[in-house]
Structure formats: structure tokens, C-alpha cells
Amino acid sequence: MPLHVPRKVAGHGNIATTQRYLHPDHQSIIEAGNALSAYLTRDGTTGPQLVPSSNSTADELGHVIQLKKAR
């Protein structure tokens, strides 16, 4: 769902206010990443992929997104 929709429903004037209340779960983040990868690789090129990170501050999942150039 686009972020502006719940912003309007909640009556927030600033989108940052709405973002404070959003807490996506691990599965929804994975699904969003898979959807983005499918979209970016629809023409057969290599798209972004989640890879384990040795940097624990990369994000709450311990992953980073690496963009790879199409060959």
C-alpha cells in the first residue's frame, strides 16, 4: 500500500508522522524485496539481491541490498 494512503486515512499532515507508526514484519520486508527483484529482473538481467551482512548495523534484518550491474 502506498504510504500516502494511510497518511490520509490517519489525517496526518506530514508523512514522517505516519512512518513512526509503521513497523513492517520480517516476512513483509522479504516479500517486498522479492517483488522488487522480480520487477527489476523481468527482462532477464541480474537485479538486487539480499546478502548476509557482517555489519550488524546495516539494518534490523542483518542484510544489505547489493546492486549488481547487468552483464
Query: What pLDDT, on a 0 to 100 scale, did the predictor assign at position 2?
Result: 84
Query: What pLDDT, on a 0 to 100 scale, did the predictor assign at position 14?
Result: 93
Q: Residue 10 has which C-alpha cell?
A: 490517519
Reported confidence tier of residue 71, pLDDT bands at 50, 70, 90:
very low
Residue 65 has pLDDT above 80, yes or no: no
CA distances in angstroms from 4 to 15, 17, 19, 58, listed in the order given: 7, 11, 10, 26
Q: Give the CA dihedral 58, 52, 60, 49, nearest 10 degrees.
A: 90
Tell me the β-bridge partners of 51: 64
Q: How many CB atoms lie within 10 A of CB 48?
A: 15
Q: How does pLDDT run across 16-29, given as a tens digit for each residue?
A: 999 888 887 888 88
